[in-house]
Every structure is written in structure tokens, then in C-alpha cells.
Amino acid sequence: MASPRKRTFNVEDGGFVALVILITLAFAYLLAPYFGAVLWGVVAAIMFQPLTARLSRRLGGRVNLATSLVLLGLVAVFVVPTILLGIALVNEATSLYGQIISGQIDIPRMIHELEAALPRGVRRFVAQYGLTDFERVRAQFGSSISSGLQNIAGRLLSVGQGALSFVAALGVMLYLSYFLLRDGQRYGDLVRATLPLRPETRDSLIEHFLLVVRATMRGTVVVAVAQGVLGGILFSALSIEGALIWGVLMGFFSLLPAVGTGIVWVPVAIYLFVTGNTVKGAVVIFCGLFIIGIVDNVLRPILVGRDTRMPDFVVLIATLSGLELFGLNGFIVGPVIAALFIAVWTEQRDRKWAVMEEATDEAAARRL
């Protein structure tokens, strides 16, 4: 029986590969306006598709009901609180803005109090660079407020369009999440079967990708929410203006491993100390170090685990670059790309070592 001829790669095959790449890029460009919605839909499916499968089995195989319950739970636990937080944040920012305009919060006076509490040598150094010219500070601040008001007035015309875009993106995310939660396993098998990689390499990279996404969401989002809530409660209990804003900022900066929440509470504590609020300053430092700070040291290793730990400098650079390129979505995209970069080169190293070991074994066998 004649053996089948080995199929060679010809011009038609090359044309088809080029067509696949071109159409894939065109489809990615088509999805670009809803990149965030698609990303969060995929992340929701990765995180909660196993829960949907377990719930479906307990409900006797009623997968549509299980998917609907999980999706309603996601809306109740994540979407609604996020919208309410955004509304509260806008209201507090507006109130704070009004207090600054009315003079209830006098920034130059605060700077003067801070400057008066500094040692004499530090004050001379500050004065040398003109940082105590409060009239200039006040004028610059007033100019900034005027330009800010003009900017806000110009943006009011696009509020309706922005709200419509947000609702559309939220609808796309929830709609996509439903189908990925329900049929995620089937779609995953299709992707797995289509990827032009060796089975062992493909499975290793997919497993690493899922592991990193889940670990990033658990370790980053949970820690950020916990530290932001604790920081907001602390500032609110101490009657510090803009407690909600400070809490959100602490949650945001907790995404950066080398920066953390200290970038918010340390300057506040210093200001409280130099302006005579020693007790409040001591409370902020104690809570910042031993309550807010300990959350990161305790929760993150538990939630992330050792398998996905990357060097802190890689996480920092990847997160900052991701935020710069992809906005808020970058805190997921950046670390995931960095982790896959490391995984791909680790796989290449392992394959190279395997080839070298095989060649060494063959050489040793020939000598025998």
C-alpha cells in the first residue's frame, strides 16, 4: 500500500495564511471601540464560568437558568455598586470643587500653614525658589479654575453621547458575558483546536493565561477594593475632606506595587503633623502601616499564589504601560501581556534545553 504523499506548503497556502491574518486584524480593528466591554466580558467568563458550570449541574442541567443567575449576581455585586460609587464620587468632587471656589478650602492658606511649620533652613530653601509667593499661587489657582469651568461647560454638550456610549458598552459586556458564561467551554475548545501550536505548548500557554487572569483579578481587584474601603473609612472617621476621593485614589495606587497607598496617606499624615494635628497624623500613620498596608502583605500572596508571581519591577512597568496605552483596562492587559511574555520565553528555553538533552543523549548512545 502506497504511503500518502506529504503535503507541501505552496503559494495558495501562503495566500490563505495572509488572508487569515488580514481578516483577523480587520476584525480586531472592528472591535476596538468596544475593547473594554469585550475585555471585561471575557474576564467575567474566565472568572465565573466554572461557577456557572457547577450551578448548572446542581440545577439539573438547566444551563440558561444557571447563567442568568450568575449574571444577575455579577450585576448586583459589581455593576450596580460601581455605578453608585461613580455617582457618589462625582457628587463629592463637585462639592469639593464648590468649597474651593467659595474659599471654604483655601489652598494658599494651607500652603502657608505648612510652610510656617517647616524648619528655618527648609523655609529658606523653599523661599529661594519662589514657592512662598502666595499671590502668584492664588492667581494661578484662579486661572486654573476658570479654564476648568470653561472645559466643563464645553463638555456638557457631550454628556448625553457619553452616557449613551456607556450604556451601549455595558450592554455589550453583559450580552457577551451571558454567552461566554453559558458556552465558554465550547468556545474554549474551538480556540484550543484552532491555534497553530503544538498541543503541549498550546495547553501550557492557555493554562498560564487563565491562571494569570484569575490571579490578577483576585490579587489586584480584591486588594484594591479592600485598601480603598479601609482608606476611605479612615479619612471619613478623621473628618478629612474628600474621604471618598482619597479612598478611590488609594485603591487606584494600590495597583502599583512599588508605589502603593502610601503615596496618598503619607503626605496627608505629614500635613496633619506639621499643622498641629498630631493625634490625627499618628492615627493615619498607624492605620496606613498596620491596617491598610498589612492587607497587601496578607491578602495578595494568598489570592495570587506563587505560580503567577512576577518580579515587582515587571509588574510595575507592565501596569504603568498598560494604563498609559489602554486606560483603566491596562491594569489587567499589562500584567497579562508581561506574564505571557515570560511564559513564552520560558517555554522556548525549555524546548531548547529538551533539544540539547536529546542531542547529548544521542551522542552518548553513539559513543557506546
| Model pLDDT, residue 149 | 44
**Cα(172)–Cα(168) distance, rounded to whole angstroms?**
6
| Model pLDDT, residue 240 | 87
Residue 108, φ and ψ in degrees, nearest 5: -60, -35
| Model pLDDT, residue 156 | 45
- Look up residue 329 and give its DSSP letter: G
Residue 9, φ and ψ in degrees, nearest 5: -85, 115
- Summarised one tens digit per residue, pLDDT across range 110-141 is 666 666 666 666 666 666 655 555 555 555 55
- Summarised one tens digit per residue, pLDDT across range 266-289 is 988 988 887 788 899 999 999 998
Residue reference for cell 483596562: 329
Give the residue from 261, 280, 263, 264 showing the smallest Cα distance to 272. 280
**Cα(3)–Cα(142) distance, rounded to whole angstroms?**
85
For the chain, residues with pLDDT lower than 50 are 1, 145-146, 149-150, 152-160
Helical segments of the chain, H only: 11-31, 35-58, 63-74, 80-102, 107-116, 120-128, 134-155, 159-194, 199-216, 222-237, 243-253, 262-274, 278-287, 293-304, 312-326, 330-367
| Model pLDDT, residue 112 | 67
**Cα(179)–Cα(255) distance, rounded to whole angstroms?**
30
Neighbours of 12 (CB within 10 A): 8
| Model pLDDT, residue 101 | 74
Which cell goes with 122? Answer: 527648609
**Cα(224)–Cα(359) distance, rounded to whole angstroms?**
49
| Model pLDDT, residue 117 | 65
Which cell goes with 35? Answer: 475593547
Which cell goes with 236? Answer: 471619613
Q: Is the pTM of this model over 0.85?
A: no
